[in-house]
Structures are given as C-alpha cells and as structure tokens.
Structure 1
Amino acid sequence: MQATSTVTTRPAAANGHPKGLYVLFMTEMWERFSFYGMRALLSLYMGKALLFDKALTSRFYGNYTSLVYLTPLLGGYLADRYLGNRRSILIGGLLMALGQFCLFGSASLYVPGQPAAGAAQTWLFFLGLGLLIFGNGSFKPNISSMVGTLYPAGDKRIDTAYTIFYMGINIGAFLAPLVCGYLGDTDNPADFRWGFLAAGLGMLLGITTFELFKHRYVVDAAGAPLGARPERQVAAAPVVPLTPDAPVRSETLAAPAPATGITAGRLLALAALFAAVYAAIAWYMGGDWFGALVFSAMLVVPLVVLADASLTPREKEKIYVIFILSFFVIFFWGAYEQAGASLTFFADEQTDRQLGSYTMPASYFQSAPALFVITLAPLFAVLWTALGRRGLEPSSPLKMAFGLLLLGLGYLIIAFGVHGVAPTTKVSMFWLVAMYLFHVFGELCLSPIGLALVNKLSPARFASLLMAVWFLATAAGNKLAGVLSGLYPERGKPAPYFLGFEISSLYAFFLIFVALSVAASLLLFLIQRRLTRMMNEPAAA
C-alpha cells in the first residue's frame, strides 16, 4: 500500500552545511560523552572496586570494547531492513542510558575491602555492560551513516562534514574524562557511582537533542526525512514554492525495502563456515569465546556481503577496498585503544601526576587525545583542502598508511621515556602527553578518512551494514588491545611472553606497538597505489 506524506523544511545555505549535520553533531557529542566518561573509569573501577587484577581487567576491557563495535553488525542490518536509522538511534540511546544507570547501581553497592564476585554489585556491572554493548550496536552505525545521506551523491563537502562530525565526537570525549573523572576518580572507590551517573545523564541529553530536532533538520537535499523505516523510505518530488520565502515542500510516495540477493543456500554455507571458524579460534584462544566471536566475525562477515548476487563487479571492487583497509584498521586500534587499559595503568602507577600540591586523576589523561583532535582537526581539514587545490592531496589509503606510521612513532617516544627506568620510579607526564599527540596525528590521518571512505564506496542499499563492517574492524582492534594490554608487566608476577619474546619491562611492552604499527604501515604503503586505482581516486604524486 502506498502512503503520501508532506515534509516542510528550510534549505541549507548554499555554501555551508545542512543544519542536520549539527543535530547529528550534538547527538553524537553527548553519546561520546557518555561512552568515554564510562571508559575513563572502567579499568579503574574493575581494579579498585571489583578488585580484579590487571590481566583480568584487560580481558574484560577488551571483551567490552570489542563487543561494543561488534554489535553494529546487528544494528546496521536491522536498520537497513526493518527499523530505519531514526528508530535505531532512539532504541540504542535508551539502552545505553539504562546501562549507565546499572553501572551507577553497581558502584552504589560497593563495600570497602570486599571482593564483589558473585554479589549483586557484579551482576549489575555486567548487566550494565551488556545494555551498553547492544545499545551502541543500534546507535553507532546509524548515526554515522546518516551524515553522508544529508548530501547529494558526489558532493565534495562530505569529507569536511565527517571531519566536523568527528570534532563532535571528540568534544564529548574531551569533556567526559574531566567531568566523570572529577566525580568518580577520587581516593574513595565509592565515588565511581557519580561518574557513571553523569555518563547516563549525558546519554539522555544526546537522545533528547535528536528527538527534538530530527523532524525539522535531519532531511535530505529535497527536504524528505532521512532514516525512516525502509518500507517508508521515500523518493522526494519537490514542489516549487509560490514565493521566494515560502518553505520547500516535498510530497513523497512509499518505496519497498531493498531486496537481498543472498540465497538461503549461501546463508547456510556461510553459517556452517562461521561455526567452524568460531570453534577453531575459540580452541586456539584457550576458550576465549568472546574473542573468538569477534575474530571469526571479522573473517566471515565480509563473505556474507560479497555473497549477495545483486552486487555488480564495480561495486564488489569498491567493497574489496573497504575490507582490505579494515584489516589495517585492526592494528591501528589495537595499539591506539591502550588508552583505556594499559596506558591507564601506566598513568595511575608510573606517571608523576603532581601539579604543585594537586594530584591529577589518572583518568584525566584520556582527555588529552580528544583535546588534540579538537585543536588539530580544523588544521588537517585546511591542509587536505589546500593540497587538493594543488593536486597534491594524498589518496585515502596513503593518508591511512601515514596514520599507522605516526602511531608507531608515538609509542617509540614513550618507549624512550621509560627505557632503563625502575618499576618504582615515576616518569614525567610529558612522555605520555607527547605520545598521545602523535597518536592524534595518526588518528586524523586514518579515522575520519575511513568513515568518509566507507560512505563514498558503499552501495546505498548496504550503507549501514558496511559501516557496521568498518566498526567490526574496530571491534577486532579493541579485542586485540585487550589481549595486548594483558601483557603489561606487573610486579610480583611472572613476565609474560609475546611471540617468544619476554616482556620484562615497560620498554619491551611499548616496543610491541612500535613493531606492529610500523609493519602495518609499511605494508599499506606498498599496496596503496593499487587500492587507489580500485577506488578510482587520483594516485598521489
């Protein structure tokens, strides 16, 4: 049955960005405030309130942060086929707010000196994490993919739009550790609850912003609403206004949801393959079922997308680029996401945090990368634009190769800072801050570029699902981050080993990330020209 609707909107400024971008900006800013506020406290809460050791804390941290980026596969699929972006964002936001309030309840049950194992405190903690995981899966791929749909196909403003959107992410990420850390990261573990409460309230602010302004501003170039349920997606037919000041009105007809070209036989074969890969990886990882889920999904899900018979050869070639670059993203986030785990241990235990008579909370350091992004993102946007005008702008794969190299240089800096330092000696905070600066240089060459690339290369009917695949690579990187964080040398415990090498000092630990990042960078440098040709982008000079 066909339905008719009328949408009224005001056109965006000719040379600016649609106002819907700033609605999505504010929504994502508050969601990231919620996420990073909780993350700033997560490892500290597990260690100081739940009394987990570093290895167990790292394992749970890796499981949580990887699953947060795995569930967008489900959220992206449900949005593309059934729910639409708008409804998915609302459901995800409400689930995440409830999850934060469960963490608040868990921390409110803290009893000094008593392990929480088996108690209501622990169950509320894991329930909160579960709600956050599924809520993020519904929220994250949909709001990210909506940014690109605000613009007509081929609009050159899309790269800049994602950079602006990325600044919203980082404003939230900057404020969150300061606010939630101030409230929760004190000498009293009972105060963690106030940090979790602030994170929950931030999530409610984000979803309220979206609900208040989505109908007026989150529309396409013709004024039709974006992100409706698939059966209500519309093809706008603009009606010319009678006067120059009259609003643009679009009357629209319903269109059917996109059809899938994946046969039942192919799905069964892929399900059997997934089960076999999952069992093999779980056995290899010693029964780490969560890790096996993430890594097996990373291997099999791309085959699910490529099994769709409706894909043209040209579409498949572009999707191959997304998958290849996703592989390199795993190594980037595996090193970068030490911020919430091993680097938090380092800030808490071996960084001199004294500023006169004031001792800075360890969680505050997690604001440093976001502050650098806010400061430097406009400069990078200007740089890419200036190079583009001269025909010198690097291709997206080349930018990402530089990003990995800069990440490795950051770890080389901090490795130098701790070389020969005794485990009981605290080092200047300069080394940690300098490392984060280089990490941000790398991030700005990789993360917003990758988001824009997925938007540009994805067939429209797979936009949310392929954005979810991109986040799946982030999930694998976060799980890898947890595994590698578990190698952090801890006094009083046997030194861990990595690929046959003993990790007996922080110097050796940080060199792991130098080696992984630089090796991935060099490999991407070697193949970036081929990837650029597959994308139909001009190759770098």
Structure 2
Amino acid sequence: MTDTTIPASEKSFLGHPRGLVICFLTEMWERFSYYGMRGLLLLYLTQHFLFSDERSNVIYGAYIALVYIMSIVGGVLSDKYLGQRKAVTFGAILLVAGHFGMAFEGQGSRETLITQAGNYEVQAEGRDNRRQLFLDYDGESRRVIFRSTHYAMLGDQRLLPIGEDGTGDYEVQRRARSFIQNICALANLGCAGPEPETTLYLNGVSYHIDETADGMIVEMDGQKIALSEHSETDILLLADATTAAAPDTSAPVAVFADGTFSTEVEQQKLYVNILYISLALIIAGVGFLKPNISTIVGDLYPEGDPRRDGGFTLFYMGINLGSFLATWTCGILGIVYGWAWGFGAAGLGMLFGLVVFQYGQPWLDGKAEPPSREKLREKVFGIITVETACYASALGIIGVSIALLMNAGIVNTLAMITGIGMFVALIGYSIVRLKGAARTRMWAAVYFAVAQIPFWSLFEQAGSSLTLVTSRLVDTNIFGWNVPTPVFQSLNAGFIFLFAPVVAWLWLWLAKRGWEPSTPVKFAIGVFGAGLGYLVLVGGMSGTGAAALTPVFFIFAIYWIHTISELMLSPVGLSAMTKLAPASLVGLFMAAWFVYSGLGNAMSGVIAAAAGAETVGGQIIDVADAKSNYIQVFSSIGYIGMLIGFLMLLIAPLVKRWMAEANVEERPLSTDSVGHN
C-alpha cells in the first residue's frame, strides 16, 4: 500500500470522510429492516399463512438465495449506467415498499379440523410459543391440545404406552457410535469399535435388539419376534378455554382418537399474493442497494489511503448494530403485538435509511455519480431512456422472483445449474487464458467461492429450522421472561461485537510468532465449526425426555460456535477473493461469490425442509416425533459439515500453494461477516 496525502480540503468526521456517516446509517437501517423481517418470516409463514414446515422452509431458502443472486444485476447496472448513488436510492425505495407490503397480513389462513363428529374451524390466539388453538365444540370454545403416545408392538401384543417423560412399561434405548467412529464410518475408514446398539427394557429386563433390513428383531425365550414402534395422536379439547400455557388436563375434555381427524387449509389468495410481491420487492431492493453502498464506502477513500480498512470496519459495525436492534424491536413488536407491528417497524427503519441517504447527498462530495450522464439520457426505445430502462429492469427482477417464490422448489436446481456453469466457465478461462501463478491463484479464488457453500447451508438454518426449533422445543424462559424467538437471532450480531476484536487480536498475536493459520485452514475451521454447532445442540436435545423442552443454554452455544466459525471464514474469504482474481475479472469474481452464497442459502432451505414437522394451526402435533426428526437431521448435517471441514483441512496446503500466499497479504479482520451480511 502506497502512502497518499489526505486532501486538506476534505471535510471529515472522527478522521474519516464525513460521507462514511451517511453510508453507516443507511446500511444500518437497511440491515435493520432486512433482519427485522427475517426474524419473523418463518413464524409468519407457518402460523399466519399456515404453510407447511416444508413449504415455508423452501420459500425461505429461495428468498435468501435470490437476495444474493439478484444483487449481480444491481451491481452491473450501477457500474455501467446508474452510478451507485442512484442505485442505492432506487433500491431503498423498493425496500420501503416491500417491507410495508409485508404489514398487509389480512385475516390469515383458515384451517378446518375434519373429524367423524363433524368439521370444526381451528381458531388461534397469539404468536410464537405463546400461540394457543381453540375450536367451538358443543357450544363451548375449547382449547385444542395434541397428546401423543408412543408404544411398541411385539408380534401381535401391544405394550402399554411410554410416558412423555420417556419412562413407562417399556423403553427402547439406542447407543450410537462415538464421534470418532461416526467420522470413520462416514469416511469408510473401517475404524474398530462397538457398533451401535439398541436395547429394549421391559418390566426391568433388558433385551438386545437386532436392527435388520426387515425391521427390529428381539429374541425372547428363544424366539425371535419383530418389534415395531408406533405413535398415536389424540386431540384433547379442554372445556376451560382460558387455561394458561400449562393446561389443567383434569378439566372436562373431549378426545378425538388417532386416525379420526384430518385438516384442510383455506388461504386468502389476495394476501398470499401480496406476500410474494413484497418479498420480490425486497429482493430487488437489496439487489440495487446492497452491492453499491459498500462500493460508495470504498470510493470515499483515495487509492492507497491507510484509513480505508478502518472505514470499512466502522461501516460493518453499522451492519451488526442494525441486525442487533432489529431482532429486539421488530421481533418483540411482531410477536407480542402483531405481525403488522413487526413488519411495519422494519419498513419504518428502511424509510429512515432512505431519508438519511437523501439528506446526506452533499456529504458524499460527488462520489458515486453515474459514469456518464449523457449515456443515461440516451433513448433506447421510443421515449424510454437508458436510465428509465435500468429502473424498469426491476420489474423483470420482481416478476422472475415472484414466479420463483411461488415455485420455490426449483430455485435450488437453478442455483445449482448456475453454479456448475460458472465453475466450468471460470476454470476453462484459467486453463485457456492464464499461465503459471496467475492460473493457480485463480483456482484458489474459485475454491474459496465454492467452499463457502456448505458453511452457508448450515449457518442459514438460523432463520429457518433453528427458528422453529427454538419456538417449539426450547425453554425460552429466562429470568421469568418468555423471550420471543426472533430475539435469539440477535446473538450472532452480539457475539460479533464481543468476539471479533478478540479474534482479530488472536491473529495478530499468532502472526508475530509465525503461527497464524493460512486462509484455507481458517476456511476449513469455519466449515468444521458450522457442523460442530449442531452436534452441541443435538447433545442438549437428546439429554432431555422425548417431549421435554431443551435448555436455552444450547441455543446460546450454537450461535456462539457459528459466530466464531463465521469470523474464521467470511471476512478473510472475500478479502482473499479480491486479491487472487485477475484484475480484469474482479467484478466477475464478486458476482461468483454472491452466486455461490446464494447456492448455499438455497440448499439451507432444502435441509430445513427435511427437518420439518407435521402441524395444525402452525403447532406441531407430535412433539416427540418432531424432536426425534430434528435430532436426526441435525446430527446428519453436523457430521457431514465436520467431515467436509476435515477434508478441506487436508487439502489446505495445496490451496495455499495455489495462492502463492507469500505475495497475498490478507486484509485485517473486520467486525463483520462481509460475505454474509
């Protein structure tokens, strides 16, 4: 970096160009609106619109994938025609419209309980884990409680049901492999050690169970008998509809037995369409604003200005501040007072950001203007100018986004095809056009772009499956306050505030001693940590009864592990990308980073969909079954994430050689996840 003289005429704030204040506040309010809405979105889809868990998670994955992928369009149009100032203004307007559109919720979807005794409309009060279901039964408003019982069958003999606390006349216990044995099994290394065991405890006597392709076989009195597990779900209608969260089950009840009910959902099409349009407006708005506000920050500093890294650090502090404040304000308002309050607060935050950016235009000192004003005034079709055409392109983004959100299942496939096509194109270019160190450095850049996929597919469960688990299966009561689920998403930003300086200091301390890990090693640690976080949560969920709530400590633990992992991966990864890519392709590689981020986010929706549970009125029917499924899915992705991280660690020396790392100086660690936030 060459020293430059800071212009004496520059108007500054705390030693930085005063335009940084405008960018800081604009981005803070934009992230406030984005994360405020994100914290409520899954609960809104499952509880207000009564989408299934699978459908809700796929929509969520498609939405966050499109946010990243569509940013490419906004970045290209601003570079070639609009300039960053106009693009940010237009994006902010779209975001205000989208967030306020989310506040138009309607009356919500209607769900009908169909039973042999008749059809009953399910009514709901409250949101999140405060939600209670009611229906009119025999002229009384009765609260609906789902009671699940689990039992085993030995031959044609039914054993008595197991209790909700995991005890009873029988109990089936499974001992899984140890962590090391699971890793060995996944890698097909043939490690020695005891195989998983399943044991039946019946009337105080234990019986070994063989799990075969035909099911579970238990040997009793010299005879092999097939064992199968079943569950029933009863609907208990409490006569006292005002019963608190822990109902008095001794109150008069009516019971609909298992197999005698089904449900039917009727949605308000108008408001479902408003939902899709609002999400599409937000996708387009982020696409125009997000890549360009960061570019403005860079343009505020002359080439080689030593203040640049400090300026970006302050800028990214605004991102995390907006995220932290949003999940407390929008999250609490949306859960306690109503969805419209939460989404309306997000829209109001973005409106503040738009006003600040417009008011602060003079502070940008002419930066971020269009490359050519004459070009913007050129006619492209009739009276339509280039500038008008750029704005009109948002209609195409919105239309495509609506279509993809309504058919969200195909987004993952499209993102995969795009990712493979881009990978082939980049590698092909490196082979045909580059030689020597330039070629291998480009390979390293492609590696970092692709290697982020598993991390984001696991990390982004925070807004989907992890949100639903927290709401449904975690004891969120802290010091007597039932904490709204969206508030827990503030832990990521809070931990970044606390630990980013510590991690930055750690790298400096290690670097002075020659011990600092290389960028590929940091990447591997990040992916490994993303998987490890889920195994910690699984440990907490498995340590309680079949239908018992998980201690909230384990939610703090997984967010902390994921935040530290994020600091290992995202800032250094994007920094390395900008330094490794050929100078003529830096813009293309930034687009590649967003494409592969989007692919990871799309895959996160698929993973979350696999962890879904059967619901009525947005509430799970069988707590034990849902908990078991979450444990199974989280265990799988945890081990897979750790295995991928381990394999990345093995190839790290090769990637380091590709980088020619002695000539690549890493940017100091910022207090934000550049690639994610």
Normalised by the shorter chain, which TM-score bucket? 0.7 to 0.9
Instruction: Indicate how the Cα distance of structure 1 residues 96 and 311 shifts in structure 2: closer, same or farther if over 3 A, else same.
Output: farther
Counterpart in the other structure of 2:455? 332
Counterpart in the other structure of 1:531? 655
Secondary structure class of the residue paired with 2:103 = helix
Counterpart in the other structure of 1:228? 369
The separation in 2 between residues aligned to 1:491 and 1:118, in whole angstroms, is: 21
The separation in 2 between residues aligned to 1:71 and 1:355, in whole angstroms, is: 40
Question: Cα offset for 1:510?
Answer: 1.4
Q: How many residues align?
A: 464
Amino acid of the structure 2 residue aligned with 1:469: A
User: 1:31 touches 1:203 (CA, 8 Å); kept in 2?
Assistant: yes
Counterpart in the other structure of 1:398? 521
The alignment status of 1:506 with 2:656, answered yes or no, reads no
The alignment status of 1:128 with 2:278, answered yes or no, reads yes
Counterpart in the other structure of 2:415? 294
The separation in 2 between residues aligned to 1:344 and 1:216, in whole angstroms, is: 40
1:202 corresponds to which of 333, 349, 365: 349
TM-score (ref. length: structure 2): 0.62
Instruction: Kindly report the root-mean-square deviation, in angstroms, between the aligned alpha carbons of the 2 structures.
Output: 3.3
Gaps in structure 2 of 5+ consecutive residues = 1-6, 111-121, 124-264, 375-403, 617-625, 666-677
User: 2:464 touches 2:605 (CA, 8 Å); kept in 1?
Assistant: yes
1:12-31 equivalences under 5 Å are: 18-31=17-30
Structure number with the higher strand fraction is 2
The separation in 1 between residues aligned to 2:442 and 2:21, in whole angstroms, is: 29
Counterpart in the other structure of 1:184? 334
Secondary structure class of the residue paired with 1:144 = helix
The separation in 1 between residues aligned to 2:550 and 2:273, in whole angstroms, is: 37
Question: Cα offset for 1:437?
Answer: 0.5
Counterpart in the other structure of 1:371? 494
User: 1:342 touches 1:485 (CA, 8 Å); kept in 2?
Assistant: yes
The separation in 1 between residues aligned to 2:371 and 2:425, in whole angstroms, is: 21
Amino acid of the structure 2 residue aligned with 1:227: A
Deviates more, 1:518-527 or 1:408-417: 518-527
1:445 corresponds to which of 568, 577, 602: 568
Instruction: Indicate how the Cα distance of structure 1 residues 88 and 492 shifts in structure 2: closer, same or farther if over 3 A, else same.
Output: closer
User: 2:10 touches 2:17 (CA, 8 Å); kept in 1?
Assistant: no
Secondary structure class of the residue paired with 1:364 = helix
1:93-108 equivalences under 5 Å are: 93-105=92-104, 107-108=105-106
Secondary structure class of the residue paired with 1:68 = helix
Amino acid of the structure 2 residue aligned with 1:371: G
Counterpart in the other structure of 1:487? 610
Amino acid of the structure 2 residue aligned with 1:413: V
How far does the alpha carbon of each residue in 1:430-482 deviate from its partner, in whole angstroms, 9 at most, with x for none?
01111110111001111222232233344555444432321221111111111
How far does the alpha carbon of each residue in 1:79-112 deviate from its partner, in whole angstroms, 9 at most, with x for none?
232223222222222111111111112x255477
Secondary structure class of the residue paired with 1:185 = helix
User: 1:163 touches 1:448 (CA, 8 Å); kept in 2?
Assistant: no
Counterpart in the other structure of 1:341? 464
The separation in 2 between residues aligned to 1:287 and 1:46, in whole angstroms, is: 14
Gaps in structure 1 of 5+ consecutive residues = 1-6, 220-224, 234-281, 494-501
Secondary structure class of the residue paired with 1:182 = helix
Counterpart in the other structure of 2:208? none
Counterpart in the other structure of 1:428? 551
The separation in 1 between residues aligned to 2:26 and 2:470, in whole angstroms, is: 30
The separation in 1 between residues aligned to 2:316 and 2:31, in whole angstroms, is: 11
Counterpart in the other structure of 1:470? 593
How far does the alpha carbon of each residue in 1:115-157 deviate from its partner, in whole angstroms, 9 at most, with x for none?
5635211111000011111111122222334444545556676
Instruction: Indicate how the Cα distance of structure 1 residues 99 and 333 shifts in structure 2: closer, same or farther if over 3 A, else same.
Output: same
Amino acid of the structure 1 residue aligned with 2:517: P
Instruction: Indicate how the Cα distance of structure 1 residues 364 and 460 shifts in structure 2: closer, same or farther if over 3 A, else same.
Output: same
The alignment status of 1:354 with 2:354, answered yes or no, reads no
Counterpart in the other structure of 2:239? none
1:211 corresponds to which of 331, 355, 358: 358
Instruction: Indicate how the Cα distance of structure 1 residues 174 and 524 shifts in structure 2: closer, same or farther if over 3 A, else same.
Output: same
Counterpart in the other structure of 2:10? 10
How far does the alpha carbon of each residue in 1:137-192 deviate from its partner, in whole angstroms, 9 at most, with x for none?
12222233444454555667655554443332211111111100111013x6xx10
Structure number with the higher helix fraction is 1
The separation in 2 between residues aligned to 1:366 and 1:84, in whole angstroms, is: 34
Counterpart in the other structure of 1:142? 292
User: 1:27 touches 1:209 (CA, 8 Å); kept in 2?
Assistant: yes
Q: Sequence identity, in percent?
A: 35
Deviates more, 1:324-333 or 1:443-452: 443-452
How far does the alpha carbon of each residue in 1:390-412 deviate from its partner, in whole angstroms, 9 at most, with x for none?
44433322222221122222212
How far does the alpha carbon of each residue in 1:491-541 deviate from its partner, in whole angstroms, 9 at most, with x for none?
589xxxxxxxx995332221122123212212222232333333332399x
Deviates more, 1:431-440 or 1:114-123: 114-123
Instruction: Indicate how the Cα distance of structure 1 residues 202 and 110 shifts in structure 2: closer, same or farther if over 3 A, else same.
Output: same
The alignment status of 1:52 with 2:199, answered yes or no, reads no
Amino acid of the structure 1 residue aligned with 2:597: T
Secondary structure class of the residue paired with 1:369 = helix
The separation in 2 between residues aligned to 1:61 and 1:534, in whole angstroms, is: 36
The separation in 2 between residues aligned to 1:17 and 1:451, in whole angstroms, is: 23
The separation in 1 between residues aligned to 2:41 and 2:615, in whole angstroms, is: 24
Instruction: Indicate how the Cα distance of structure 1 residues 403 and 153 shifts in structure 2: closer, same or farther if over 3 A, else same.
Output: farther
Counterpart in the other structure of 2:89? 90
User: 2:547 touches 2:627 (CA, 8 Å); kept in 1?
Assistant: no
The separation in 2 between residues aligned to 1:346 and 1:46, in whole angstroms, is: 15
The separation in 2 between residues aligned to 1:137 and 1:174, in whole angstroms, is: 22
In our comparison, the structure showing a higher alpha carbon Rg is 2
Deviates more, 1:286-295 or 1:479-488: 286-295
The separation in 2 between residues aligned to 1:460 and 1:85, in whole angstroms, is: 21
Amino acid of the structure 1 residue aligned with 2:651: I
User: 1:80 touches 1:465 (CA, 8 Å); kept in 2?
Assistant: no
Instruction: Indicate how the Cα distance of structure 1 residues 317 and 227 shifts in structure 2: closer, same or farther if over 3 A, else same.
Output: farther
User: 2:37 touches 2:342 (CA, 8 Å); kept in 1?
Assistant: yes
Counterpart in the other structure of 2:135? none
The separation in 1 between residues aligned to 2:80 and 2:433, in whole angstroms, is: 17
The separation in 2 between residues aligned to 1:492 and 1:50, in whole angstroms, is: 12
